[in-house]
Amino acid sequence: MVYLTVEKGLAPNTLESYSRDLQDFRAYFCDQAITALATIRAPVILGYLIHLRNRGLSSKSRARHLVTLRGFFRFLHQEKMIPVDPVALIAMPKSGLHLPGILSVPEIHALLSAPDRSRPVGLRDAAMLELLYAAGLRVSELIHLDVMDVNRDAGFVRVFGKGGKERVVPIGRPALKIMERYIREARPLLLKGLTSEVLFVGRRGRPLTRQGFWKLLKKHTTRAGIRHSVSPHTLRHSFASHLLEGGADLRVVQVMLGHVDIATTQIYTHVSTERLKTIHRQYHPRS
C-alpha cells in the first residue's frame, strides 16, 4: 500500500477498495490450496472471475477486481517477486467484464445423453452435440464441416474459422465413436439416395442450417432438464472453461478455439498438433 500511496497517489477510499479486493482474492486462492503467489497462472485468475460471477457480482464489480489484480501482479512482476504476470493475457472489454454462461460437467453429460440414438435424427443430433463440445466449435463451423474434415483415424477435426483461417482440433473417444455411428448408420438414411460432401444433413438430405441446429439444441436442452438458457456458444465456452479449470495451459486452449475472446485476441505461440492432442486427452472430461 505504500507504493500505491506514495508512487501512485491514490485516495484513501481507493486504497481501501483495493485492500478489500486483495483480501477477497487471498481468501479464494487459499481455498484453492495455493500456497505461493509465484505459482499463480492465468487459469487461477479466470477461475476467480467465475467465482465472483457465481457470487452474484455485477460485471462492473468484477471488472474492478480485475483492475486491482492487474495492478498488483504487474507490480510483483516488475519487482521480480514472481516469474510470470498471470493477468497479462486477460483482456478487459471496454464495456466491462463479461463472462459467458457455461454448463457444469453433469449438465454437459445430461445434454449429450438427451438425443434418442436409436433414430437417425437422434444419432445425428448426438454427433453434433458431442463434436460441438469436444472441439469447442462455433455453430457456423459445425454446420459447414464436410465428411473429409473429420480424421477419424488420427482423432482430429479440421475447422475453417473466421476469415477462412484453418485450425486442427483433437477430439476425444466419445465424439469419435458417435461420429463413426452417425456416418455409417444415420447419414445414408438422411441423404435418401442423394450425394453430398456436407457432414451433417437434414431429413431431406440438405445441409443443416443454423436455425435448424438452434431448434434441436433447444429441444435437447429441455429434455436434459436444463432450465437456464443454452446457446451453441454455451458449449464452446464450457469446452474452454472445463479445460482451464482442469489445468490446461491458456495458450493451448486458445489455439484450439481459434483466437477465442475468452482471455485475449493477440497472436499466440505455435503449438504442434501432437501437443494439442496430448493436452486435450489429458484435460478434456470427454476425451
Indicate if 138 belongs to the active site. yes
| pLDDT for the residue 5 | 43
From 152, 181, 233, 275, active-site residue: 233
For residues 181 and 262, membership in a common domain is answered with yes
From 167, 236, 280, 284, active-site residue: 236
Looking at the domain assignment, is residue 88 inside a domain? no
Domain tally, the chain: 2
From 51, 144, 181, 268, active-site residue: 268
**CATH number for 155:** 1.10.443.10
Chain-wide mean pLDDT for the chain?
Answer: 81
- CB-based contacts of 149: which residues, under 8 Å, 6+ apart? 157, 158, 159, 199
**CATH number for 39:** 1.10.150
| pLDDT for the residue 92 | 63
| pLDDT for the residue 198 | 92
Indicate if 233 belongs to the active site. yes
Is the confidence at residue 262, as pLDDT, over 50? no
pLDDT mean over 207-216? 90
Is the confidence at residue 163, as pLDDT, over 80? no
Q: Using an 8 Å Cβ cutoff, are 249 and 279 in contact?
A: yes
| pLDDT for the residue 203 | 78
User: Following DSSP, what letter does each residue of the chain receive, concatenated?
Assistant: -HIIIIIS---HHHHHHHHHHHHHHHHHHHHTT---GGG--HHHHHHHHHHHHHTT--HHHHHHHHHHHHHHHHHHHHTTSSSS-TTTT----TT---------HHHHHHHHH-S-TTSHHHHHHHHHHHHHHHHT--HHHHHT-BGGGEETTTTEEEEE-GGG-EEEEE--HHHHHHHHHIIIIIHHHHHTT---SBSSB-TTSSBPPHHHHHHHHHHHHHHTT--S---HHHHHHHHHHHHHHTT--HHHHHHHHTS-TTT--S------HHHHHHHHHHH-TT-
| pLDDT for the residue 269 | 28
Instruction: Print the domain residue range for 277.
Output: 105-283
The DSSP 8-state label assigned to residue 42 in this structure reads H
Most confidently predicted of 4-13, 102-111, 157-166, 264-273? 102-111
Poorest-pLDDT segment among 204-208, 215-219, 243-247, 273-277:
273-277
For residues 179 and 118, membership in a common domain is answered with yes
For residues 214 and 110, membership in a common domain is answered with yes
| pLDDT for the residue 12 | 60
Q: Using an 8 Å Cβ cutoff, are 207 and 196 in contact?
A: yes
Indicate if 259 belongs to the active site. yes
Indicate if 227 belongs to the active site. no
For residues 124 and 66, membership in a common domain is answered with no
pLDDT mean over 93-121? 80
pLDDT mean over 101-117? 91
From 70, 206, 251, 259, active-site residue: 259
| pLDDT for the residue 128 | 96
From 162, 165, 184, 281, active-site residue: 162
For residues 66 and 132, membership in a common domain is answered with no
From 62, 117, 138, 280, active-site residue: 138
Is the confidence at residue 94, as pLDDT, over 60? no
pLDDT in tens, 122-159: 999 999 999 999 998 989 899 999 999 998 888 889 98
pLDDT in tens, 80-90: 999 989 888 78
Out of 35, 60, 78, pick the residue that ends a domain.
78
For residues 122 and 68, membership in a common domain is answered with no
Identify the band that residue 176 occupies on the pLDDT scale cut at 50, 70 and 90: very high
